[in-house]
Structure 1
Amino acid sequence: MTAPLIDPFQRAISYLRISVTDRCDFRCLYCMSEQMTFLPKSELLTLEELDRLCSTFVGLGVRKLRVTGGEPLVRRNIMDFFRAMSRHLDSGALEELTLTTNGSQLAKYAADLAACGVRRINVSLDTLDDAKFAHITRWGRLSQVLEGIAAAKAAGLRVKINTVALKGFNEDELFRLLDWCAGEGHDLTFIEVMPMGETGDRLDQYWPLTDLRRRLGERFSLIPLTERTGGPARYVQVSETGQKIGFITPLTHNFCESCNRVRLTCTGELYMCLGQEDRADLRAPLREGADLEDAIRAAILHKPKGHDFDYSRQNTGQMPRHMSHTGG
């Protein structure tokens, strides 16, 4: 049997997040600049190369594969990649194939995703207000996203809403979002805004989830859950509604001790940590015909103990790359 991927801190790597494109049809304020310079398409891995890399990871013990971007569903012929990955679900080598999306293309692709074995998806949605949605995404339309979410639900996909907590933006929608998700049957996870990319106003946007959770606790009874879904979220159950609420807290309470994931960019760079610059080039060995397994194992040996996000420091603790480069 092939030995599993174990990092220097004895954590087994079983979760790969793969960015299939750096492009997106939105320009969310905390993720991208409005005038983004995207990578030349010639630098991106082909779908066949993405297949080879992901299949190698699956052979090394990765059990969960999350497809991200940019917006993954704007990648040309992306369903060919999902269909290719579904063979690992059929064989039992892969437990879950999923994606994170802004929802703009779900009306078109939800049924195809379900046919490929995708059972649940994450949809990024920070507001239910049309005007605020247009502001935060710059180019997006809320109605299009809600239509996509409805199509996903109709296709039998379980939807989890990911909401970035933004001070002064969606604080007043906390309970509206909660009620909407409860009514629609969606789980909901709140995420602290991270110091990545052009971080000029990140501190002004930062709403610590300790405060958000306190506000929830003033109205509802929150029962901590021990459940883990392979990601960084910690969950509670709302007694009054029965719904599950997640909290991803890279700043107020990091989750590094149980980190089981690495991120592969659309150009073949493997980032061992979202909040560090350690990375390995897998495109070169892939295209040169070198041993991919050896290259991956060598990279995992450089996985750091944890990230170092910190708004209080100007030159360290903040990542210069955009979130869309690494994959959300």
Structure 2
Amino acid sequence: MSAPLIDPFLRAVTYLRVSVTDRCDLRCSYCMSENMKFLPKRELLTLEELDRLSSAFIRLGVRKLRITGGEPLVRRGIMSYVEAMSRHLQSGALDELTLTTNATQMHRFAADLVSLGVRRVNISLDTLDERKFGEITRWGRLGQVLRGIDAAQEAGLRVKINTVALKGFNEDELFPLVEWCTGRDMDLTFIEVMPMGDMGTEDRLDQYWSLRDLRARLGERYRLTDLAERSGGPARYVRLEETGQKIGFITPLTHNFCESCNRVRLTCTGELYMCLGQEDRADLRPSLRDPAAVPLEEAIRNAIARKPKGHDFDYSRQSVSGQMPRHMSHTGG
């Protein structure tokens, strides 16, 4: 194997998140605008190009690959890309192939994902209330999502629910969500809303629910034990002693998690973002398509050499700092 990818702060880059499409069949208000203008399909990398790029990262030491979107399962032919990545599981070059999804299409693909080596998925779900689900996603389909969760579990996938903590929206569902996940043997991770996309400062401040406060509220009912466990991402975990349930917290605002960052994000157009919260990016398309361009491996190394120490997200003093104009769906979260 080639020398591993090490950034300027001596962090090994071993985790690649690949957005295979910017399109989604929902319109979550914290993720995209209601009338999104999606990229023309001709601008997207082909599935074969995504294979070449992802495989190059794996040769350079990436051990975990997460497929994201938009909603990855709406990309036509997506299972051919999953199948291409599964060969790296079989060879031992890749430790884990995972997926983040809204589960609307999971009933169609769960069994195939398992057959190709996917063992767990993250499913985004912010409320169990059908009316509120329609409000936050703008399009609804809670029943379809729950059907997808059923299909994932029936196929043998380990499911983790990702819930964005939204002040005034799902605060009253904290314990119902925890209890629902406990009853279905699913882990649960809460995420602070991030300043991504041009949604307006007031909207972001109104939505922001500090996970420090959320954790304190959990502690009123459960005994929380901090866990040393890491899943390769930014989450920090606790165990609820009364139930054994594992709860994760992703806290880009109340606790910057950049010091151990091992991740980079590849967009569906071939742009590599070295940090979710910075605008610097490297366009890898020329290295894919132009024989006269910088060789692909060299282009990747040049990009990793620019990986910053961290992001600048901040909601202190009732203002939004470090806001990124691009929507979450562009870089895949």
TM normalised by structure 2 equals 0.97
Q: SS of the counterpart of 1:7?
A: coil
User: Does 1:323 find its partner at 2:322?
Assistant: no
Contact 2:313 2:320 in 1 (8 A): no
Of 204, 216, 221 in structure 2, the residue corresponding to residue 202 of structure 1 is: 204
Q: 1:34 is matched with which residue?
A: 34
Deviations 1:32-55 (A, max 9, x none): 111000001111000000000000
Q: 1:276 is matched with which residue?
A: 278
Q: 2:155 is matched with which residue?
A: 155
- Name the amino acid aligned to 1:300: I
User: Does 1:188 find its partner at 2:193?
Assistant: no
CA distance in 2, matches of 1:76, 1:70: 13
Displacement over 6 Å in runs of 4+: none
Note closer, same or farther for the CA distance 1:252–1:316 as it changes in structure 2 (3 Å cut): closer
Give the C-alpha shift of residue 311 in structure 1.
2.9
Contact 1:311 1:318 in 2 (8 A): no
CA distance in 1, matches of 2:320, 2:71: 29
Contact 2:130 2:140 in 1 (8 A): no
Give the C-alpha shift of residue 314 in structure 1.
6.3
TM normalised by structure 1 equals 0.99
Supply the RMSD in Å over aligned alpha carbons.
1.0
- Name the amino acid aligned to 2:120: R
CA distance in 2, matches of 1:160, 1:266: 24
Note closer, same or farther for the CA distance 1:315–1:134 as it changes in structure 2 (3 Å cut): closer
Q: 1:71 is matched with which residue?
A: 71
Q: 1:295 is matched with which residue?
A: 299
CA distance in 2, matches of 1:219, 1:193: 24
Deviations 1:220-274 (A, max 9, x none): 0000000000000000000000010000000000110100000000000000000
Contact 2:276 2:311 in 1 (8 A): yes
Q: 1:220 is matched with which residue?
A: 222
The residue correspondences of 1:14-25 to structure 2 (distance < 5 A) are: 14-25=14-25
Q: 1:94 is matched with which residue?
A: 94
The residue correspondences of 1:96-175 to structure 2 (distance < 5 A) are: 96-175=96-175
- Name the amino acid aligned to 1:134: G
Contact 1:25 1:140 in 2 (8 A): no
Give the C-alpha shift of residue 310 in structure 1.
1.6
Q: SS of the counterpart of 1:219?
A: coil
- Name the amino acid aligned to 1:323: M
Aligned residue pair count: 328
Deviations 1:81-101 (A, max 9, x none): 000100000000000000100
- Greater mean alpha carbon deviation, residues 82-91 or residues 304-313: 304-313
Contact 2:314 2:320 in 1 (8 A): no
CA distance in 2, matches of 1:69, 1:284: 22
CA distance in 2, matches of 1:140, 1:248: 25
Deviations 1:300-327 (A, max 9, x none): 0000000101235868511000000011
Deviations 1:189-239 (A, max 9, x none): 000000010231011000000000000001100000000000000000000
- Greater mean alpha carbon deviation, residues 315-324 or residues 47-56: 315-324
Q: SS of the counterpart of 1:73?
A: helix
CA distance in 1, matches of 2:319, 2:123: 31
Q: SS of the counterpart of 1:168?
A: coil
Give the C-alpha shift of residue 284 in structure 1.
1.3
Percent of aligned positions that are identical = 77
Give the C-alpha shift of residue 285 in structure 1.
1.1
